[in-house]
Amino acid sequence: MSTLLSKLLHFVLLTTSKRQIDESHGISHSMNVLHYTMKIYTSVLPKIPELETQERTIFVSAVLHDMCDKKYMDEDDGIKKIEEFLCEKITPDEIEMTKKIISTMSYSKVKKNGFPIIDGLEKTMAYHIVREADLLSAYDFDRSILYHMHKSNSNIHEAYSNACEVFNNRILKHEEDGLFITNFARNEAINLKINAQNRMIAWKTILNKPTLF
C-alpha cells in the first residue's frame, strides 16, 4: 500500500537525487524534522484543538520543507514542482498553506522579514510548528560539518571551523533571538544546545590528535 507518507518520502529521495541535495538536507533530515514536528504538534494540540484541521498540512510541510531550498535550486521552480506533486493528493487549501509554510520558514527569511502574517490561530501555529521543528534539527553539529564539506569541498578542519562559526553566531542563539514560541521547543533547545556544545568540544579533541594528521 502506497500511503501519502510513502509518496512524500519517495519524492524527497527523487528530488535530492535530481537536484544533488547532500545528506545534510536530504531524507534523514526530513525524517528528523517530521519527528520533531510530531512532538511539538502533540504538545500544542490540547491547548489548540482546532489545530487538528491543519494536521495533514503540518506533516506534509515537515517532510517537503527543503525541497525548494535556494541553496540547491531556484526556489520558485522547487515550489512549482512541489505543487505539481501534491496536486490531487491533498486539497487546494492545504497546498496553498504548505507553500506558505515552506516558502517563509527559513532562518534567513525570518531574520530578514520576521514572521509572516497568517490568518487564523490554527494556521499560524501550523507554521510555527514546522519552523521550530526545523530549528531543533539544526542543533545537529555533525550535520553542519557535512553540509560545509559538501558545499565547498572543504576538508574536515575547514568544515569544522565553518560549522563552529555558524553555531556560535546563529544556532546557539536561537532562544535569545526569540525564535521559539512553544514551550516544548524552548525546553528541548536547552538540552540540544548542551549536546551541540559537547559535540563541538569532542570534535576539537579528535581534530587535534597527532595520529590523524
pLDDT digit string (tens) for the chain, length 213 residues: 579 999 999 999 999 999 999 999 999 999 999 999 999 999 999 999 999 999 999 999 999 999 999 999 999 999 999 999 999 999 999 999 999 999 999 999 999 999 999 999 999 999 999 999 999 999 999 999 999 999 988 899 999 999 999 999 999 999 999 999 999 999 999 999 999 999 999 999 999 999 988
H, E, C per residue of the chain: CCCHHHHHHHHHHHHHHHHCCCHHHCHHHHHHHHHHHHHHHHHHCCCCHHHHHHHHHHHHHHHHCCCCCCCCCCHHHHHHHHHHHHECCECHHHHHHHHHHHHHCCHHHHHHHCCCCCCCHHHHHHHHHHHHHHHHHCCCHHHHHHHHHHHHCCCHHHHHHHHHHHHHHCHHHCCCCCCCCCHHHHHHHHHHHHHHHHHHHHHHHHHCCHHHC
For residue 146, what pLDDT is reported? 96
What span, in angstroms and rounded, lies between the C-alpha atoms of 95 and 19? 22
In this structure, are residues 95 and 83 in contact, taking their beta carbons and an 8 Å threshold?
Answer: yes
Asked if residue 110 and residue 188 are part of one domain, the reply reads no
What residue numbers bound the domain in which 194 lies? 138-213
Asked if residue 54 and residue 29 are part of one domain, the reply reads yes
Asked if residue 89 and residue 24 are part of one domain, the reply reads yes
Domain boundary among 84, 109, 131: 131
Task: State the number of CA atoms in the 13 A half-sphere of 42 facing the CB.
Answer: 6
The CATH number of the domain holding residue 38 is 1.10.3210
Residue matched to cell numbers 527559513: 106
Asked if residue 109 and residue 35 are part of one domain, the reply reads yes
What span, in angstroms and rounded, lies between the C-alpha atoms of 29 and 17? 15
For residue 1, what pLDDT is reported? 58
For residue 154, what pLDDT is reported? 81
Domain boundary among 131, 147, 174: 131
Asked if residue 179 and residue 125 are part of one domain, the reply reads no
pTM higher than 0.75: yes
> Closest by alpha carbon to 81, among 101, 95, 71?
95
Domains of the chain: total: 2
Asked if residue 158 and residue 111 are part of one domain, the reply reads no
Q: Is 154 left (phi over 0), alpha (psi -120 to 50) or beta?
A: beta
Domain boundary among 65, 96, 131: 131
Beta bridge partners of 90: 87
Query: All 3 cell numbers of residue 34?
Result: 517530521
For residue 2, what pLDDT is reported? 76
For residue 213, what pLDDT is reported? 86
